[in-house]
Structure 1
């Protein structure tokens, strides 16, 4: 099983959030990412948000250094 991650440092924002989340499955990672997006970034949970978050998923674990922004 390949670990998955999402890294807020890749997403442009005014907050310059440095949180990275990882999990063993897409479903688990998506739920954690949605909770973070709603509680910290004040997004509304929606199918569009969930779809957008999935585009930032990567295999492996987050790098220690900040990735380049998209």
Structure 2
């Protein structure tokens, strides 16, 4: 499996978040993305959030 990433810049938010996260495994990326979503965006850690975040994962590394 190659590197995966999720990039908040691709999703509008009230705070204009510019964080991008990447990892070599989907499990590691999911845990980091959940922590970010809860701490910064005040989401609740639910199965639905985890499912939604997984759909946002992309292959490779975030653009500069």
Q: How large is the RMSD of aligned CA atoms in angstroms?
A: 0.7
1:13 aligns with 2:13: yes
Distance 2:34 2:9 in 1: 16
Could you list the runs of 4 or more consecutive aligned residues of structure 1 that deviate by over 6 angstroms after TM superposition? Answer: none
Structure showing the higher helix proportion among its residues: 2
The TM-score normalised by the length of structure 1 is 0.88
> Which 5+ residue runs of structure 1 have no aligned equivalent?
65-70
Equivalent position of 1:40 in the other structure: 40
**Could you tell me how far 1:31 is from its partner in structure 2?**
0.2
**Could you tell me how far 1:12 is from its partner in structure 2?**
1.6
**Could you tell me how far 1:37 is from its partner in structure 2?**
0.2
**Could you tell me how far 1:3 is from its partner in structure 2?**
0.4
